[in-house]
Amino acid sequence: MTIDWQYFVEVLPHYKTALWLTVKLAAIGILFAIVVGMICSVIQYFKVKVLNQIVQVYLEVARNTPLLIQLFFLYYGLPKIGITLSGELCGIIGLTFLGGSYMAEVFRAGMEAVSKSQIETGKAIGLSNLQLMRYVIIPQAFSYSVPGFGANCIFLIKETSVFSGIAILELTNTTKNLMGIYYKTNEALLMLVIGYLIILLPLTLFLTWLERRVRHAEFGN
């Protein structure tokens, strides 16, 4: 197998652009997913009437359909009823839709892991529900949620590769295009792998560190 090193240099700008776009879309999507996840998890935790059922339906739909199909719906389906969104916007909405459900589950599990006696103690010293949330439940739920949260972030970043299905020029789609034009498959795929590692390795290391930090703060080990 021969590798054309010159080729790397030639296509580097394309990968740079693609990498930046991948990071940007993933970051925005994850950010919104966190917001959606928080809202849904609080609704579920307090079993808010009506909203709870709506959230339940959302979670089931979002988690039981592939992201690609969700994107097809947004990108090809919506224009038929007169709503045309740009590819990137579809990508962000899709990632938020999917990610929100995963984040909701992780956050809810974190809140439910806070023991009943902690909550009763909080009540017994006179805290309001809001104060209970702020000082007792959320700080502890956070540390329970960190491992699942990290796994979700990594999962969602990798899911951006599905964006290639709706013509967004992120890493995977860029690679496919370059392969189609130059037939330098080995080089292109190697660049692709390196591209994802550049994003994910530092993040994984950071999350491992964070997990250990939080565990130490909470349980001292």
Partner 1 sequence: MAEQVPILQVKGLVKKYGDKVVLNGVDLQVEKGKVIAILGPSGCGKSTFLRCLNGLEEVQGGDILLENKSLISKTTKWRDVRQKIGMVFQSYDLFPNLTVMENILLSPLKVQKRQREEVEAQAKELLARVGLADRANDYPRQLSGGQKQRIAIVRALCINPDIMLFDEVTASLDPEMVREVLDVIAQLADQGMTMLIVTHEMNFAKLVADEVIFMDKGSIHEKAPAQQFFSNPQTERAQQFLNILQF
Q: Which residues bind partner 1 (CB under 8 A)?
A: 115, 117-118, 120-128, 131, 135-136, 139-140, 143, 217-220
Q: Which is nearer to partner 1, 84 or 128 (CB)?
A: 128
Tell me how far, at minimum, the Cβ of 221 lies from partner 1, in Å.
9
How distant, in Å, are the alpha carbons of 31, 119, 139 from that of 123?
Answer: 32, 6, 16
Q: Which is nearer to partner 1, 63 or 212 (CB)?
A: 212
Tell me how far, at minimum, the Cβ of 203 lies from partner 1, in Å.
25
Tell me how far, at minimum, the Cβ of 147 lies from partner 1, in Å.
17
Q: Which is nearer to partner 1, 143 or 174 (CB)?
A: 143
Q: Which is nearer to partner 1, 64 or 117 (CB)?
A: 117
Residue 119 CA to residue 209 CA, distance in Å, equals 29
Tell me how far, at minimum, the Cβ of 211 lies from partner 1, in Å.
16
Q: Which is nearer to partner 1, 2 or 117 (CB)?
A: 117
Q: What are phi and psi of 63, to 5 degrees?
A: -85, -15
Amino acid at 30: I
Tell me how far, at minimum, the Cβ of 49 lies from partner 1, in Å.
19
Tell me how far, at minimum, the Cβ of 141 lies from partner 1, in Å.
10
How distant, in Å, are the alpha carbons of 141, 155, 160, 161 from that of 196?
Answer: 30, 12, 11, 10
Q: Which is nearer to partner 1, 13 or 220 (CB)?
A: 220
Residue 97 CA to residue 89 CA, distance in Å, equals 12
Alpha helices in the chain (DSSP H): 5-45, 51-63, 67-72, 87-113, 116-124, 129-131, 138-159, 171-182, 185-219
How distant, in Å, are the alpha carbons of 88, 150, 199 from that of 24?
Answer: 10, 18, 11
CB 178 within 8 A of CB 10: no
